[in-house]
Structure 1
């Protein structure tokens, strides 16, 4: 299962969430100090189960040059979340002409063929699932073959977050990508087609650069939801078609 942040350089919060997810699991799985509460005992048990039953990958930043410049695209102006090939729309399948970061993510994903992945973005608060686009370019629901499973995983994330599922804009805090914000060449659709990965795009906050006093709470809320989502994925053992 992968936790992937900062694909758009001007959306930095995912960097912090991805790193904190790794820290959450490592600290709770390895600590030897005496537990102080039932909640802590449950968290330790979950962390150990994840370590024993899953392989977790943390990729804090896909676009370090964009982050340094505070730009959406990379140093060459490429939007990495429009740069993936997608066989469903007959786009080129090769690595040729891809941004280096895109090619690296593709090679890594094909090597490990993860069951699931979370790709953190900013600009809204919602769990977004495939398909991200329609053949005709319309803004309308486009169901993947495993639509029910995608909805289950997106809902498990939204419900584990304190406010996402209460959204006035998105019913239950989830959305089909094509019904909301159509795009082509995104990572989550490519993941599903090429490696069978249940990949979600998680929009973590309306603000792209939240103030320091807000950042900690945003990160904590999404770490908890992320852990719940990967636990749900482990329970189902599902892999995309």
Structure 2
């Protein structure tokens, strides 16, 4: 039973180059949201060094001018842009809908790949924009991203890398009704980023997790588990993740300039840094986006331009934590604009500031090309660490190995042996952990992977030897039985 595990290490070498180049060309200081006072619903800013944000949903709606959406695509124009993209770039794309909004607007998705719609042993990444109706920058930037990749495929190495090595899915708007109404919530005035099943965290021994300091068990708060009360946009995203296993993802928001990572909430609902089991990986992913950005990493409010969600302000029912727990999808919440709804003339600048961040974050999944074998699995982990990797499959014996991961990714191949009834006499399987350095497989691993082939070759050679021996013996007998010829004078 062959199983391939793809362990991806995230490297910053190329990303730092792009960031340095951008900083040299456009030196600037990052701006954060300004708060002149603490209105009702905000936490006391003295409780944390970061900026105060909404702990619970603020039901008051901002007062927008009638022409604030001037220059932004309407929902109809956005739908046309998506379909036009599909017509123009059909060889590397697929257009599909994951559902509808409350008012029946289709939730269109653009898939970009050299083999769109096909199952491949490649990681999948998704971008989601416009989760909050009054934060529309993401929907504009994601259409620009799709078109840039299409225009630069086979011309730019980064665009080609993404198309040929991952399946990129782009949902420009999750909340088209909220956009039309110019408000945060959807048509039912529900904040979609508070509508997902929530969770609390406690340590237990029944569910293993990839972490050396213990085992973790996740459960959701029952108060947010009523599927009948959930919004159609939320249900559409949840069903989407049941159909496609995403390795990583990001949602685009507005109102600050920072890359946010799990956990978003705490077990006791207080505000403090609450890291998840993959905290190092999430910090690395967030840093990829921040360091590739025009000025996010220069933030004076968020060191390095990144933040733990619970440390910033706890939220519950968020999509980010649900992705991580439910589907093992490593999701970031990206605040890409200080202004939630900036003037449309700023969109080209915002695109230039965020373009490399969007591309590099998606490309961070591409570190190794997996083979076409059954049970491919992709896992993001930070480099320069020692990990124990266990491959399990019902009906087969598990196997374990250790790896020392460097800056490059590595592929592990496991051949699992079927479970045999205990009455059969077998040698015990050695599951000792032998460390494998990245890119330097041991001789023992090489022998283990090819032992079956060697055994077959040995059997064939033995059979050939037996046949050859019989042939020689037969020839000798025939020679002895030949009649003697008389000498002639």
Distance 2:145 2:259 in 1: 17
Residue 134 of structure 2 corresponds to residue 10 of structure 1: yes
Deviation (angstroms), 1:46: 1.7
> What SS does the corresponding residue of 1:125 show, helix, strand or coil?
strand
Distance 1:233 1:93 in 2: 32
Deviation (angstroms), 1:2: 0.6
1:77 match: 189
The one of 147, 151, 154 aligned to 1:23: 147
2:322 match: 190
Deviation (angstroms), 1:94: 6.1
- Could you tell me whether the CA contact under 8 Å between 2:294 and 2:354 is conserved in 1? no
Distance 2:264 2:344 in 1: 32
Distance 1:25 1:118 in 2: 17
1:234 match: 366
- Could you tell me whether the CA contact under 8 Å between 1:8 and 1:79 is conserved in 2? yes
Distance 2:380 2:243 in 1: 15
Deviation (angstroms), 1:239: 4.8
> What SS does the corresponding residue of 2:130 show, helix, strand or coil?
coil
2:221 match: 90
Distance 1:102 1:16 in 2: 21
Deviations 1:69-128 (A, max 9, x none): 101000111100000013434235563321000000111122112111110000100000
- Could you tell me whether the CA contact under 8 Å between 2:265 and 2:316 is conserved in 1? yes
With 207-216 and 50-59 compared, the bigger mean Cα shift is at 207-216
- Could you tell me whether the CA contact under 8 Å between 1:86 and 1:193 is conserved in 2? no
Larger radius of gyration: 2
- Could you tell me whether the CA contact under 8 Å between 1:29 and 1:51 is conserved in 2? yes
Residue 236 of structure 2 corresponds to residue 104 of structure 1: yes
Deviations 1:14-52 (A, max 9, x none): 10111122112111115xxxxxxxxxx5xx122112111
Residue 255 of structure 2 corresponds to residue 123 of structure 1: yes
- Could you tell me whether the CA contact under 8 Å between 2:281 and 2:380 is conserved in 1? no
Structure 1 alignment gaps of length 5 or more: 31-40
Distance 1:115 1:221 in 2: 25
With 213-222 and 172-181 compared, the bigger mean Cα shift is at 213-222
Residue 331 of structure 2 corresponds to residue 210 of structure 1: no
Deviation (angstroms), 1:230: 1.1
Greater strand proportion: 2
The one of 220, 225, 228 aligned to 2:357: 225
Distance 1:234 1:90 in 2: 35
TM-score between both structures, scaled by the size of structure 1 = 0.90
1:33 match: none
Deviation (angstroms), 1:213: 2.4
Greater relative contact order: 1 or 2 (C-alpha under 8 angstroms, separation 6 or more)? 1
Distance 1:220 1:16 in 2: 12
Distance 2:352 2:170 in 1: 16
With 20-29 and 126-135 compared, the bigger mean Cα shift is at 20-29
Structure 1 moving runs of 4+ over 4 Å = none
> What SS does the corresponding residue of 1:185 show, helix, strand or coil?
coil
- Figure out how many residues of one structure are paired with residues of the other and give that number: 228
Gap change, CA 1:83 and 1:148, over 3 Å in 2 = same
Deviation (angstroms), 1:152: 0.3
